[in-house]
Structure 1
Amino acid sequence: MSAKQPTQRASAGRPPSLRDVAERAQVSHQTVSRVVNDFPGVRSATRERVLAAIDDLGYRRNNAARTLVTQRSGLIGVIAVGSFLFGPTSTLAAIEEAARKHGYMPLLATLRENSKDELIGAVDAALDHDVEALVVIASRESMVRSTADLQLSVPLIVVGPSPADVDGLATLSVDQRAGARAAIDHLAALGHRRVVLLAGPHDWVDAQQRLTSAQRRCEHHGISCQVVFGDWSAASGFQAGQELLARWASDLGTPLPTAVFAANDHMALGLLASLNAADVAVPGDISVVGFDDIAGADYFSPALTTVRQDFTSLGHQVLLATLSALAGEPMDLNPVPAELCVRASTAPPRW
């Protein structure tokens, strides 16, 4: 009978144990333990034999016992606060993937409300499970500040940009300022001098950074800019487009802006819909730039010029920074670069 038959995997009606692996590999159970826990000092040939026995028997290590021996749980607490939009959810998926690749399991908590009490409760629950570190995905300024107030005995990393006046908090994000600069530089190079900035909500740190960076870059290029606020939704982008067109229609002496920089792709999508409904050509009459490069942005009508955030790289960098903190080493907290993706929604202005 093959060694991989189910009857061999669970002899005597029980799952295979560490001693079963040791017998199959013809080594001591201490050697198997060292291989399972990735300790050094095991010859490569012996390690390969043990791993083959583990695969043959279908052995699964006892994490509770591992924690007692190594004083490590293999858990990283990940708390996602108050947002299920494209960026935070994409980052969460990347962190989970990276954690598993490095032998860790994320312990996930999601908070729909921006409540400091709920945040503290989620942190306490994670610590009760002996997590080795905490990662908090928080974009709203109020929650970043609440996280900064936490007094913890384990490493803490916040995914998202930090408010300018918050010190001592380890944060990682895509370079929001550089992304906004790239968008405005692109419009300036095309010759645009009247631009609307469709900004995100006031309480979101990334929205603040995109807006202030875009405003400074407009000033640098001598571009006249007007700020309109949305709430990240396509509906708010549609409404902003309607209001923009209504103001222009009520005062024909005021020219339309030649371009709009929307702080995320969903608002850009709503804006495109409102311009299309009013027979305003994009990019013929108005160019549009978004931010995020959500799935399908290249299939908008027209294909959307946007700033890509590499959330996969961000998630992996967050995990590597966490591992560095656990090892007592310096963390790489440099922001992940943003990339401008030029598509059909931008062109030189007609006038």
Structure 2
Amino acid sequence: MSTQQFTRGPAMRDVAAAAGVSAQTVSRVLNEHPNVQDSTRRRVLAVVEELGYRRNNTARALVTGRSRTLGVLTLATNNYSRSSLALGIELGARETGYTVNSVTSSLSADALTDAVSRLVNQGVDGIIIAAPLQEAAEKVRRITARIPTVNTDGSSSMGDRLVGVDQDVAAVVATRHLLELGHKTVWHVAGPADWSDAASRLNSWRRTLQEAGCEVPPELHGDWSPESGYRNGLILGRMPEATAILVASDEMAFGVLRALNELGRRVPQDVSVVGIDDIDLAAYSNPPLTTIRQSFEDTGRRAVQRLVSQIAHPEEATAPDLVAPTLVIRGSTAPPPPGK
């Protein structure tokens, strides 16, 4: 089989001629049609590889009504969880034969609705919303009413489209762990108030303390950054009664740990700290961080799987796909000091 030279990109008919089959057979192979002999399939795919043939997705979309493209709405941030989620989506899309078209947005309602509208107008087959919606949720739901959509950030108004980790369970498990160690109450460094996941964790932390008959301290808020955790850690570290702290993300927890160390508060001898996420660095902090594990990459893959299923079977009813996180106990938690 000799390599042919083309002044243009090779077309399907060129693949067919080189493989000694019809263009229809090439099309069947590329569309994974079952009624093709294995030997023929291998020969066609070998020619496709040799010639560097690339499918014309625009023409394919005109024929099938699908672009084989998934739209993804994310925030413009370098936050670890966003990067890991995006990787999971990219890998999941590749595994299912889709490409990804991503747009970023700020948290304003106008910016979010504009970003979703742009994805719809670009003709994507479905949309993954990996950004907190809050005030924009109802507008976004109306815009995406006729296109398969998955939400990974816990908007209650898009409950039937949710794919993610049960944030209610995350906060409950973390808070109970600290109470079971003997701490009288648990302080909380929450995430931004306009994030659905942060709000869910905050409400569950408060409810768990109330159900246990514990005093509910005033919460503090950060912006997911280590810097905001550090600032809040400087406040809590000056409070002798604060012996247990639940931090809404590992990255903020690292900042809390540094602040406590600078103030001479030992972890876990004086103060216990629990994070949420279990990012790779959590096992290597000083001390290693007790945290709630949730796999963002797995969430991204599951979001793609749910979306592709919706695209193939739009008539099927869906339910929220939430998995329970797990507690990973390391060196940052222990019983309170004597007398506390």
Give the TM-score, by structure 1 length: 0.88
Single out whichever of 37-46 and 209-218 deviates more from structure 2.
37-46
Within the candidate set 100, 110, 126, 1:133 is matched to 126
C-alpha RMSD of the superposition? 2.1
Task: Report the secondary structure of 1:76's partner residue.
Answer: strand
Seen in structure 2, the aligned counterparts of structure 1 residues 129 and 149 have a Cα distance that, compared at 3 Å, is: closer
Indicate conservation of the 8 Å contact 1:144/1:158, yes or no.
no
Q: Secondary structure at the match of 2:273?
A: strand
Aligned partners of 2:322 and 2:287: how far apart in 1? Answer: 30
Give yes or no for contact 2:116–2:140 (8 Å, CA) kept in 1: no
Pick from 80, 88, 91 the counterpart of residue 94 of structure 1.
88
Alpha-carbon separation, structure 2, partners of 1:27 and 1:239: 68
Q: 1:56 aligns with which of 44, 47, 50?
A: 50
Say whether 1:277 aligns with 2:268: no
Larger deviation, residues 54-63 vs 149-158: 149-158
Match of 1:33 in 2: 27
1:348 is aligned to 335
Matched, 1:306 2:298: no
Post-superposition CA distance 1:181-240 (Å, at most 9, x none): 111222122222232111122221111111111222223334333132222222222222
Q: 2:218 aligns with which of 227, 243, 264?
A: 227
TM-score norm. by structure 2 comes to 0.91
Bigger Cα displacement from structure 2, 299-308 vs 151-160: 151-160
Are the structure 2 counterparts of residues 168 and 262 from structure 1 closer, same or farther at C-alpha, using a change threshold of 3 Å? closer
Output one character per residue of 1:32-73: Cα deviation in whole Å (capped at 9) or x when no partner.
011112234223332222112212222211112212222221
Q: Which runs of 5+ in 2 are unaligned?
A: none
What pairs with 1:1-351 in structure 2 (closer than 5 Å)? 3=2, 8-9=3-4, 11-81=5-75, 83-111=77-105, 113-163=106-156, 166=157, 170-231=161-222, 232-246=224-238, 248=239, 255-328=240-313, 329-331=316-318, 333-351=320-338
For the Cα contact (< 8 Å) 1:230–1:267, is it kept in 2? no
- Asked if the contact 1:195/1:261 (under 8 Å) is kept, the reply is yes
Aligned residue for 1:157, secondary structure, equals: strand
Partner of 1:100, secondary structure, is: helix
CA distance in structure 2 between the aligned counterparts of 1:194 and 1:70, rounded to whole angstroms: 59
Q: Give the share of equivalent positions with the same residue, in percent.
A: 39
- Does the aligned pair in 2 maintain the 1:81–1:137 contact within 8 Å? yes
Check the 8 A contact 1:82/1:114 in 2, yes or no.
no
Q: Cα offset for 1:140?
A: 4.7
Runs of 4+ off more than 4 Å = none
Cα distance in 2 for residues equivalent to 1:84 and 1:52: 40
Structure 1 residues 162 and 217, CA gap change in structure 2 (3 angstroms): same
Counterpart amino acid of 2:200? Q
User: CA 1:267 to 1:301, structure 2 compared with 1: closer, same or farther past 3 Å?
Assistant: same
Partner SS for 2:327: strand
Instruction: Deviation per CA, 1:160-200: give whole Å up to 9, x if none.
Output: 1123xx26651222111111111122212222223211112
- Per-residue CA deviation, residues 61-118 of structure 1 (Å, 9 max, x unaligned), is 111221222222111111114654222332122111111111111111111x223333
Within 2, Cα distance between the matches of 1:162 and 1:296? 28
The answer to whether the 8 Å contact 2:163/2:320 transfers is yes
Spell out, residue by residue over 1:133-160, the C-alpha distance to the aligned partner (whole angstroms, 9 max, x if none).
Answer: 1111122522434423425431122221
Distance in 2, Cα, partners of 1:306 & 1:182: 10
- Which amino acid in 2 is paired with 1:115? S
* Aligned CA distance change for structure 1 residues 335 and 59 (closer, same or farther; 3 Å): same
Aligned length: 335
Q: How far, CA to CA, are the matches of 1:208 and 1:156 in structure 2?
A: 22
Alpha-carbon deviation of 1:16?
A: 2.3
Q: Give the partner amino acid of 2:285.
A: F
2:158 and 2:123 map into 1 onto residues whose CA distance is 27
CA distances 1:309-335 after superposition (whole Å, capped 9, x unpaired): 111111111111111111124446321
- CA distance 1:149–1:330, shift in 2 (3 Å): closer
CA distance 1:13–1:82, change in 2 (3 Å): closer
34-43 or 335-344, larger mean C-alpha shift: 34-43
